[in-house]
């Protein structure tokens, strides 16, 4: 990263969660919290299940920001093109910073009797 790039701990953590598949997104919620509601797994654009691929590559809510930060020369066609190219990885950090996509759950609920604060 360049000396002028300043990303918060939350943005960096979200970036690594995206890479490992453990980010706060509908697909993850559906997998790990069986008592989820449709509102907890649906993308804000209306897609029934929010996925990393959808958010980063095709969600219409992020078209402008995607063009600005994730399209180095041409639009990425798959996640590998984003994660394996240093400039696109840097762009992804800017994308996350600007959109706040995948940073936290939209709703807080009490899975398994333990209250968790996802907005910490």
d(CA 51, CA 46): 12
Q: How many residues does the chain have?
A: 120
H or E segment and range at residue 91: helix 86-99
Look at 115 and 35; give whichever has higher pLDDT.
35
Say what the pTM is. Answer: 0.76
DSSP string, 7-71: --HHHHHHHHHHHHT-SSSHHHHHHH-TT--HHHHS-TTS-SS--HHIIIII-GGGHHHHHHHT-
Mean pLDDT throughout 29-44?
90
**pLDDT for res 114:** 45
């Amino acid at each position: 990263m360049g000396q002028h790039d300043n990303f918060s701990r939350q943005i960096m953590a979200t970036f690594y969660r995206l890479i490992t598949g453990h980010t706060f997104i509908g697909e993850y919620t559906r997998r790990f919290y069986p008592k989820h509601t449709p509102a907890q797994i649906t993308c804000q654009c209306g897609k029934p299940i929010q996925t990393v691929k959808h958010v980063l590559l095709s969600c219409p809510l992020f078209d402008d920001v995607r063009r600005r930060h994730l399209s180095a020369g041409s639009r990425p066609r798959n996640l590998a093109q984003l994660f394996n190219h240093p400039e696109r990885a840097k762009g992804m950090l800017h994308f996350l910073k600007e959109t706040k996509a995948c940073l936290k759950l939209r709703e807080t609920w009490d899975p398994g009797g333990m209250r968790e604060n996802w907005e910490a």
